[in-house]
Amino acid sequence: MSTATSNAIDWRAAWTAALDDLEMDVLAVETMLADERRMAETPPSNLWRPPTELGALPLDLKPRADGILTRQLAVAEEIARRLTANRQQMAVTSRIETGEAVKRPVYLDCAM
């Protein structure tokens, strides 16, 4: 095998491994979003870091990279939607009377 062929195989293998890692991270977030209890109990610990010195993405891996990007964007949109829903729910629940002593100022107008 020539050196050029060997380098091309190593380059493609490095990109394939990088996409594998990235896809696993997206899958982990998708799984956590599907199971809210698991997400609360086990937050992600290993953040994906892009590999260095890989060079350009091989053209035959572009469809896969595009698919991963589409999933990442969908996950980010879902996280934003859930954050908004949580804020709205917090606003509603903060207005619920619990029956406990209400800590609101009470004024009595004695001038009348």
Q: What share of the chain has pLDDT > 90, as a percent?
A: 16
- Report residue 23 as tokens: 């896809």
> If we measure between CA atoms, which residue out of 74, 16, 18 comes closest to residue 48?
18
pLDDT digits (tens, 9 = 90+) for 44-85: 667 677 777 888 888 999 999 999 999 999 988 988 888 888
In this prediction the pTM is 0.54
**Residue found by looking up tokens 């190593």 in the block:** 10
Per-domain residue ranges of the chain: 2-98
- Does 82 or 5 have the greater pLDDT score? 82
pLDDT digits (tens, 9 = 90+) for 11-23: 888 889 889 988 9
Task: Decide: 4 and 11 in contact? Cβ < 8 Å.
Answer: no
Task: Decide: 65 and 19 in contact? Cβ < 8 Å.
Answer: yes
Distance of CA 72 to the CA centre of its chain: 7
- Three-class DSSP category at 24: helix
